[in-house]
Amino acid sequence: MNKPHAPRSATALFERATVGAFDLTNRMVMAPLTRNRAGPGLVPSAFAAEYYAQRASAGLIIAEATQVSAQAQGYSDTPGCYTDEQVAGWRTVTDAVHAEGGTIVVQLWHTGRVSHTSFQKDGQAPVGPSAIRAKTKTFIAGQGFVDVSTPRALDLKEIPGVIADFRYAASRALEAGFDGVELHGAHGYLLDAFLKDGANQRTDAYGGSIENRARLLLEVTKAVATEIGADRVGVRLSPVSPANDSHDSDPQSLFNHVVEGLDLFGLAYVHVVEGATGGARDFAPFDYAALRDRFDGVWMANNGYDRQMAIDAIAGASADLVSFGRLFIANPDLVARFKTSAPLNPLMASETLYGGGAHGYTDYPTMASPTAALAES
């Protein structure tokens, strides 16, 4: 058990915090949000810089899930961070956020079995821990939602290459001006799929026991921490979220072990999705306090937090940071609105979430500019 957590004041959500190598202006975080608006070459679009800069008053921005390699892609128009063009595109984003006084990391992912042959070189099968198809869909531009493909199991000999891809993308992320990276260890993508026995039925050193299933996540974390410094690395986990057919027979034991392993690195933070992503927080029984007790560093909580829940979580020290997804899409100035208990904008039509242009992306009004959306639409 790690040290007990002292309570804070009711205004602590809005006060500065040191998180690893980052000096944050407040404890409100913009969660990573897939928006499927990357351009040719999977380069972040020019207006991504505007979108993120509009939200730079968040204490921390976690930029959308971003591929570590071509193999890592699972959806249309999600950006990468492994080519010169992608790095140059991200540089316009990080410069714009820094110019507004913000701090920004990028979420690095490999989608693993949540992918489709059409995204893979020569139409090959995507890779996963085992050749078990996830009961989930992906989005392919022009085709809509389609079942993901049956993956092939990664060969043991290929695993060092996957770890190297994460390490390389992390080094390119810093070159692109990001303050750090978050590893996507959630939602059924490659790292989470290795963790969970619903997807991982390997019989080698990366499957079977909890220790073995946690090995890939911990090795990737170690490699990335070695490359850019552990105090610039966060890890996102979703212990019980059923997103993308993710499930495990004993998540509490699994994640207790994972977090104890992560605790040894001196990471910037661990980011935990409580319950079903975007859905019921009590979707499945899980003791998040017991998990948090196994980690000495900064704890970021996510999923369905509103203003009062976030104030209470920070004041009561059940979390050190709280991340918000849809609220930050709809409210670029969410921090100012929470500070003053101002009304919140509703989300625009769901068709604007994934793919499209400026509408539903850069045209949400702020309190300072309440007619921005009307003027542009």
Catalytic amino acids?
A: 189
We find the least distance from the C-beta atom of residue 281 to ligand 8OZ, in angstroms, to be: 16
**DSSP, residue by residue, 296-322:** -SEEEEESS--HHHHHHHHHTTS-SEE
For residue 33, the minimal CB distance to ligand 8OZ (Å) is: 7
Is the separation of the CB atoms in 44 and 90 below 8 Å? Answer: yes
User: For residue 99, what is the enclosing H or E element?
Assistant: helix 84-99
If binding is defined by CB under 6 A, does position 187 make contact with ligand 8OZ?
yes
Q: How far is the CB of 243 from ligand 8OZ (least distance, A)?
A: 5
Of 162 and 273, CB closest to ligand 8OZ: 273
For 283, other C-beta atoms within 10 Å of its C-beta total 15
Between 112 and 180, whose beta carbon lies closer to ligand 8OZ?
112
HSE-CB for 357 with a 13 A CA cutoff: 3
Closest to ligand 8OZ by CB, 57 vs 136, is: 136
Interaction between residue 246 and ligand 8OZ (CB under 6 A): no
Is 185 in a helix, a strand, or coil?
A: strand
Phi-psi group of 229: left, alpha or beta (phi > 0 → left; psi -120 to 50 → alpha; rest → beta): left
Q: In the beta sheet, which residues pair with residue 66?
A: 108
Q: Give the CB-side neighbour count of residue 72, counting CA atoms within 13 A.
A: 26
Secondary structure tally for the chain: helices H, strands E:
11, 14
The span from the CA of 303 to the CA of 77, in Å, is: 25
CB of 85 to ligand 8OZ, least distance (A): 22
C-alpha 252/C-alpha 290 separation (Å) is 9
Q: Is 34 in the site for ligand 8OZ (CB under 6 A)?
A: yes
- The closest alpha carbon to 63, from 52, 72, 71, 53, belongs to 52
In the shown chain, the binding pattern of residues 64 to 103 toward ligand 8OZ, with x for contact by CB under 6 A and - for none, equals -x---------x----------------------------
Tell me how far, at minimum, the Cβ of 35 lies from ligand 8OZ, in Å.
Answer: 9
Across 127-251, the runs of DSSP E, i.e. the strands, are 127-128, 137-140, 144-147, 152-153, 180-185, 233-237
Amino acid at 247: H
- Among residues 194, 238, 224, which one has the least CA distance to residue 212? 194
Q: Total residues contacting ligand 8OZ (rule CB under 6 A)?
A: 5
Is 202 or 271 the residue whose CB approaches ligand 8OZ more closely?
A: 271
Q: Which is nearer to ligand 8OZ, 19 or 243 (CB)?
A: 243
Q: How far is the CB of 237 from ligand 8OZ (least distance, A)?
A: 11
Q: With respect to ligand 8OZ, which residue has the nearer C-beta, 31 or 314?
A: 31
Positions in 147-186 near ligand 8OZ (CB under 6 A): none
- What DSSP line would sit under 360-373, residue for residue? TTT----SSSTTHH
Q: What is the contact surface with ligand 8OZ in residues (CB under 6 A)?
A: 34, 65, 75, 187, 243
